[in-house]
């Protein structure tokens, strides 16, 4: 029974891996791209600050426009990353709920098995005790029968001996 539950649990984990591993891989790629974009934005922001300090406001303005575009792209990747994270977390919650149900079922079945096995052991000992009592009863009956036969034989033997000697 435990083998069946373990098999179901392994199948559940495999299904989870088949469904959610691609999401996890996609999320890691998106997070990597997001980190690259954030680094680019930081570099552009630093470069823009330097240009403003040197008085090159036209070029700085163009960089600010690029930074704004990067911010929009970063926001899109952030939204996609959050969505994938929600999907993965929901999948984790579902798998954990199903695991908990399987563990609960396993505990219930183990408890039932223990109860049944306990009843079996009790019945076995009760049957052994009854068999011993029955055996003892049969031995007592046989003993009584043989005792009666021996007593009768003793009486007959003594009568036979008397008869033999009287003749």
pLDDT tens series, the chain, 167 aa: 567 777 877 787 787 777 878 888 888 999 999 999 999 999 999 999 998 999 988 988 998 999 999 999 999 999 999 999 998 888 888 888 888 888 888 888 889 888 998 999 999 999 999 999 999 998 888 888 887 777 776 666 555 555 555 55
pLDDT score of 98: 84
> Would you list the domain boundaries of the chain?
2-118
pLDDT score of 164: 52
What global pTM score does this model have? 0.57
3-class secondary structure per residue, the chain: CHHHHHHHHHHHHHHHHHHHHHHHHHHHHHHHHHHHHHHHHHHHHHHHHHHHHCCCHHHHHHHHHHHHHHHHHHHHHHHHHHHHHHHHHHHHHHHHHHHHHHHHHHHHHHHHHHHHHHHHHHHHHHHHHHHHHHHHHHHHHHHHHHHHHHHHHHHHHHHHHHHHHHC
pLDDT score of 53: 92
């Amino acid at each position: 029974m435990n083998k069946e539950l373990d098999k179901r649990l392994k199948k559940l984990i495999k299904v989870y891996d088949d469904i959610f591993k691609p999401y996890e891989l996609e999320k890691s790629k998106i997070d990597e791209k997001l980190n690259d974009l954030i680094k680019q934005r930081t570099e552009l922001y630093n470069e823009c600050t330097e240009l403003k300090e040197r008085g090159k406001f036209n070029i700085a303005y163009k960089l600010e426009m690029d930074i704004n575009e990067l911010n929009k792209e970063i926001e899109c990747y952030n939204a996609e990353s959050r969505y994938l994270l929600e999907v993965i977390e929901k999948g984790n919650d579902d798998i954990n709920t199903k695991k908990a149900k399987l563990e609960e079922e396993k505990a219930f079945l183990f408890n039932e098995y223990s109860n049944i096995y306990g009843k079996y052991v009790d019945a076995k000992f009760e049957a052994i005790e009854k068999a011993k009592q029955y055996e003892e009863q049969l031995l007592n009956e046989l003993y009584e029968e043989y005792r009666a036969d021996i007593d009768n034989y003793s009486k007959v033997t003594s009568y036979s001996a008397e008869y033999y000697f009287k003749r």
